[in-house]
Amino acid sequence: MKVLVATDGSKTSLRAVKYAANLLKSVNSRSNSITLISVHDDLGLNHARSFVGNEAVQDYLRELSAKELRPAMKLLDKMGVKHDIVIKTGHVSQEIVALADGEKFDLVVLGSKGRGALADLLIGSVAQRVLTTAKLPVTIIK
């Protein structure tokens, strides 16, 4: 089983990583793997690019993603679960869905930030957008 887990360094995303790892351990197949994805929307940093340059912005986002991925990688190492990482920039939900569909994952797992229903109705969440646009099963962990 091939599982994509979106992580942003939050407690809920770490719970999603743990859920996915336990799921794979219960399936018990040699081909099991988890890919951790960290995506940062860089649209809001266009102004900063004019001062520091695109390379500095990309370096910053890569470092931020690496920092956010560290706890999840440590957990998977401790649990003995095979994994790799993907770092992307762009529209968060679109990047997650594009990777999930393009690399033929079996499942997407991600944490929910737990915003209220009204806020989700007005502005939507990454979890909702992934859930509604992905062509494969999605599990959202609270």
- What CATH number is attached to the domain comprising 52? 3.40.50.620
Q: Looking at residue 115, what is its pLDDT?
A: 46
Question: How many whole angstroms from its chain centre is CA 80?
Answer: 20
At 41, give phi and psi (nearest 5°): -75, 115
Which residue carries 């959202």 as its tokens?
Answer: 140
Which has more pLDDT, 125 or 73?
A: 73
Question: How many whole angstroms from its chain centre is CA 69?
Answer: 9
State pLDDT tens for residues 83-104.
Answer: 999 999 889 999 999 999 999 9
* Nearest one of 108, 96, 112 to 137, comparing CA atoms: 108
Compute the average pLDDT of residues 36-40.
94
- In which domain, by residue range, is 16 found? 2-141
Task: Say yes or no to pLDDT of 16 above 70.
Answer: yes
Dihedral angle sign, alpha carbons of residues 55, 44, 107, 105: negative
Compute the average pLDDT of residues 65-79.
96
26-107-105 Cα angle (round to 5) = 110
Phi-psi category of 38—alpha, beta or left, where left has phi over 0 and alpha has psi -120 to 50? Answer: beta
Compute the average pLDDT of residues 5-13.
93
- Paired tokens of 43: 């649209």
Number of domains into which the chain is organized: 1
At 43, give phi and psi (nearest 5°): -60, -40
